[in-house]
Structure 1
């Protein structure tokens, strides 16, 4: 079996796509939920899939993704285009690990870990999450160009629809990136008596995780959970300090 990743580019001023790749993109990207910008993003990201782990050494012996050089130096695109492709490769790999669970026919409870992990990914990807889903499916199930391509595309399209339905309907995560957090940084600082800094961001992420796991929860319930969790962590820390100091006190 020949694993086929869509890739056919000339390192000049443009990208050429093969007939097979056009068929793949027309079949998988011909979705009403894909905007033109999302299609372009998916095209770039998919084209460079085989090079996602390839690097080269610069003059300072620093390892640089080869995708960065191709997009910036050969295709004369902006640095943000290269970063976008690399970011989508990383996010797609994360999403790929969730696909078996998201594609399962079993009921998914709203308070599941799956909802939390998927929610964080969607908040990162925003409206481009369907692009990452497409890429992750191609990573998980590469096209075999020697087999029945039409049948393979249909199966991947069905998988895409199944996972999309789970995310949107079963987990209720459509536009989760637009959801305003129940608590903000000032509330976290006040309730946990923090002075700011990285700890506030960490607790905000914990609060977001709680919110994703409790979609019907209230701001007060979230604050109560944060305070309870903080109290437990302080208690555990104090116990650890006592254990470490006890031998010293005996000297």
Structure 2
């Protein structure tokens, strides 16, 4: 099924003589390398918007007597941590998301990018949260290049960290976490999900005062709740909660209403 999808996309490039690189990003690449099933296909485009490319795919399919089963546009919504416009197409009974490789800049007081532009695969990979996700959305670091049929690891660490079972950031941890402090909780969650070890430098960066302050100031309670929800419903909730405590993040993640803090929080760290 995946091969049929990729073949139609490559045929679209040939039909319109498009010089576009198609890269599957994120979870799909990581899970394939781990020998796991994944039905979440995000395709990153390097020089064309998703809506424009999907229109080309639809036109090509009609020319060969086929039809896309559904198309929709998911607009960017920074309040819900959705920073990129996504075009979704239903093809061979699977939903495929098309996004663009991006370069982002952040302001000091917000995890919402202040500036976005078309980026290179290297720029996109180093923006991501963890090396194991950097084989390349929305937002990860490892890519599978459909054009060449090869895995691309632009951080040069993603595959080795998958093999050794380590959770590592592509850039120095403090820089990665200050760009988007929610990545601290994502690192903990992925460590538990795959039973991987948190890198020592990552733990130091996650526990530093600036990162903790940024996590408290820049991340909404709803986003923190979502990450904790995923931890609790995962396969290693105790391990993940222990990491939160050991990294001195307890009172940021599990903050209390102000009227209760003085009586309960003193001397309690877990």
Q: What TM-score does the superposition give when structure 2 sets the normalisation length?
A: 0.29
Q: Which has the higher contact order (CA 8 A, sep 6+)?
A: 1
